[in-house]
């Protein structure tokens, strides 16, 4: 058991996790920029690179609950340290490997595991434990805003690196940056053993069984699946979609993805803030319904740079604003002792959706030559997610009330 002398302050935790999330999510959101140069260099179709990204998202989700268990049991610091090294190794792998099968497997394992140890699931537990209940939703909103800032900041950086030093060297530079910045931040995330926390003592098996037997938890799983499908499909395939539609200037896609990150800083922050005042289930439903409307309007409007930027700004407000609300419901209903693990289980559903969204985009493009069907699926799933979040029960479980 990892034990620190004292619990870090909320400010320290938010700053350290903010840097980690900025890098983890910022680098990951730019993977769409490598689709065409890697595919052209290796003579692959888009389906190969899409499958690699789909595998990365699937492994991220599969490793998530276990990374969460480790963070809850041994401390967030150790998990982030291991994740930073794995993430960097994955970027080096993507730069060096030319065999399509090995590329897909290595990208999935190294990058997927690295993200599981450095993204939301792994760090949500320490945030939930350090933040007082009345500030918990707000704190999750701050962490979501940090990841969005990473997307806004890293999009132009990654595109410029590819243009300036080539796609392979860009991977090397980003891998080194991850290690140099994440490792020092990890040491600020030391905390006392979770067993020292107040409340009833549950085993991992009991906590997981309790959650998976809860109807509201299962509805969160369904909604988060849709979230993953939509955001990863758009994040990876939007640059190629715009080029196919005649917007050949790559700066339009760069700015669009950066705008998503910029506007989601505000979306995540205010979603977390509103989640402390309004029912989180209604806010989640509103986000999913709004996504369906925004995507529909984007497809119906004449495609030009302005319409792309308006779409990006609107989607940005809705992008990761689901994260503080979902994590807030988990913490409020089930408590914070096994917060990272439960967040990891929910996020696994998100990543199943991510896998399907990014892979299906590449597969249907290869089969049909367009993304029309995938856009339609994204709209229909948005409506479905809006409906399934409405009946979620946010009241704490009876054991928490008794405690």
330-345, pLDDT tens digit by residue? 888 888 777 778 888 8
Residues whose CB falls within 8 Å of the CB of residue 20, separated by 6 or more in sequence, listed in order = 80, 118, 123, 182, 185, 186
pLDDT tens readout for residues 119-176 = 877 888 888 888 888 788 788 888 777 777 777 778 788 888 998 999 999 999 999 9
Which pLDDT does position 268 carry in this prediction? 83
Domains of the chain: 7-191 (1.20.1250.20), 204-397 (1.20.1250.20)
Ranges of the chain with pLDDT below 70: 1-5, 192-201, 399-403
Helix, strand, coil content of the chain in percent (nearest 5): 85, 0, 15
Which pLDDT does position 141 carry in this prediction? 80
pTM of the model: 0.76
Residues whose CB falls within 8 Å of the CB of residue 103, separated by 6 or more in sequence, listed in order = 42, 48, 52, 93, 94, 97
Which pLDDT does position 293 carry in this prediction? 97
- How far is Cα 170 from Cα 158, in angstroms, rounded to an integer? 7
- Entry field: residues in the chain: 403
- How far is Cα 153 from Cα 375, in angstroms, rounded to an integer? 27
Which pLDDT does position 402 carry in this prediction? 56
- Calculate the alpha carbon distances from 202 to 133, 199, 205, 311, 338 in Å: 20, 9, 8, 45, 8
């Amino acid at each position: 058991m990892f034990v620190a002398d004292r619990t870090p302050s909320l400010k320290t935790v938010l700053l350290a996790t903010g840097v980690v999330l900025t890098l983890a999510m910022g680098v990951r959101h730019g993977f769409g920029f490598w689709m065409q140069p890697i595919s052209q260099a290796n003579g692959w179709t888009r389906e190969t690179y899409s499958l690699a990204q789909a595998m990365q998202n699937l492994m991220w989700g599969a490793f998530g609950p276990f990374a969460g268990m480790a963070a809850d049991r041994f401390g967030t610091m150790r998990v982030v340290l291991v994740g930073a090294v794995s993430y960097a190794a994955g970027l080096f792998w993507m730069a060096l490997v030319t065999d399509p099968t090995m590329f897909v497997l290595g990208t999935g394992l190294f990058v997927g595991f690295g993200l599981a140890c450095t993204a939301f699931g792994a760090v949500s537990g320490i945030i939930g434990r350090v933040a007082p209940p009345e500030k918990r939703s707000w704190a999750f909103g701050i962490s979501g805003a940090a990841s969005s800032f990473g997307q806004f900041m890293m999009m132009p950086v990654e595109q410029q690196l590819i243009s300036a030093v080539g796609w392979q060297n860009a991977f090397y530079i980003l891998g080194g940056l991850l290690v140099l910045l994440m490792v020092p931040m990890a040491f600020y995330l030391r905390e006392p053993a979770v067993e020292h926390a107040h409340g009833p003592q549950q085993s991992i098996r009991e906590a997981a069984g309790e959650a998976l037997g809860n109807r509201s938890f299962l509805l969160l799983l369904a909604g988060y699946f849709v979230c993953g499908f939509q955001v990863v499909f758009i994040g990876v395939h939007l640059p190629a979609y715009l080029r196919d539609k005649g917007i050949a200037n790559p700066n339009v896609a760069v700015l669009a993805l950066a705008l998503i990150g910029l506007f989601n800083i505000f979306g995540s922050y205010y979603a977390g803030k509103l989640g402390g005042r309004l029912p989180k289930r209604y806010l989640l439903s509103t986000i999913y319904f709004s996504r369906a409307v925004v995507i529909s309007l984007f497809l119906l409007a004449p495609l030009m740079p302005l319409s792309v930027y308006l779409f990006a700004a609107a989607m940005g407000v809705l992008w990761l604003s689901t994260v503080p609300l979902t994590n807030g419901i988990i913490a409020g209903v089930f408590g914070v002792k096994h917060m990272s693990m439960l967040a990891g289980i929910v996020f696994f559903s998100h990543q199943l959706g991510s896998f399907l969204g990014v892979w299906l985009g590449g597969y249907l493009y290869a089969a049909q030559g367009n993304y029309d069907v995938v856009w339609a699926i994204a709209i229909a799933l948005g409506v479905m997610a809006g409906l399934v979040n409405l009946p979620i029960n946010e009241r704490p479980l009876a054991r928490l009330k008794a405690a």
